[in-house]
Structure 1
Amino acid sequence: MTEPKLLPHAYVLAVHDLKASTAYFVDVLGFAKDWNDGDNWQAVVRGGVRVTLGSCPDALAPAALGDHNYFGFFATDDVDALHEEFSARSAIISSGPADKPWGWREMAVATPEGHRMMFAQKI
């Protein structure tokens, strides 16, 4: 029997400030608003990736998770172009594009609340 494919493309994040987090994903990272549920939820999309932001003002801060606050690995065909785009919009870039021995060129990006994500291009 063949194993079913999994195609990761949807993430759910608890955020303290829904409005500010939405603005960062839209204005800085280039996502577009999708559906929302008033002041509770806002989904944003870019390409085949969806991030659903949930208002959780009392949730544990991502910074308190230490190394475990990475939530997504986003494959792209041009990580250097994304770096230019994000830099021009003042994104929080933790580490610029760099070739890794495991065959990916990776760039780490964070949100103002401390969620971290990796954007990477297969080399």
Structure 2
Amino acid sequence: MEKPTSPFGEFMAPKISSWAFVLAVRDLDASAAYFRDVLGFQMLWSESADWRLVQRDGVRVMLGHCPDDMPASALGSHNLFGYMSVSDIDALYSEISARGAICTAPADRPYGMREMVVTTVEGHRVLFGQDIPE
């Protein structure tokens, strides 16, 4: 199989698109419900015994049932699983905090981002960020 090239004959690297995360969770139904009911994700896999897939816009999170694993809340700073860009962080904060999200208020950072941290019911954390206009 021939590798794709640009019109100039240069090798073109494969494009990686969308975002997908895989999280080990102890309580599959509670975690899936939090993503759906609080964070606004759509449930795509609801019938599987050991997996739930949730999606919002281009982001997918696969939740794997691991009832005997260490809880994410016991991982300290290693419970951070991703960074998601958002077009309007203040609107997202208003939306999800009104539904009971465990999150910090958005704050401007010195590196040009406005960010907030969202924590799941099991203690996984994800950062949401928006570029601060110059």
Matched, 1:49 2:63: no
Distance of 2:90 and 2:57 partners within structure 1: 17
The structure richer in strand per residue is: 1
Q: Give the alignment of 1:9-88 within 5 angstroms.
A: 9-36=19-46, 38-88=48-98
2:129 paired residue number: 120
Q: Which amino acid aligns with 1:58?
A: D
- Identity among equivalent pairs (%): 54
TM-score where L is the length of structure 2? 0.85
Corresponding residue to 2:109 among 77, 96, 100: 100
Query: What SS does structure 1 have at the residue aligned with 2:49?
Result: coil
Q: State which drifts further: 37-46 or 68-77.
A: 37-46
The number of residues matched between the two structures is 122
TM-score where L is the length of structure 1? 0.92
Q: For the aligned residues, what is the CA RMSD? A: 1.4
Query: What SS does structure 2 have at the residue aligned with 1:54?
Result: strand
Distance of 1:60 and 1:73 partners within structure 2: 22
2:6 paired residue number: none
In the alignment, structure 1 segments of 5+ residues that lack a partner are none
Q: Quick check: which has more Rg, 1 or 2? A: 2
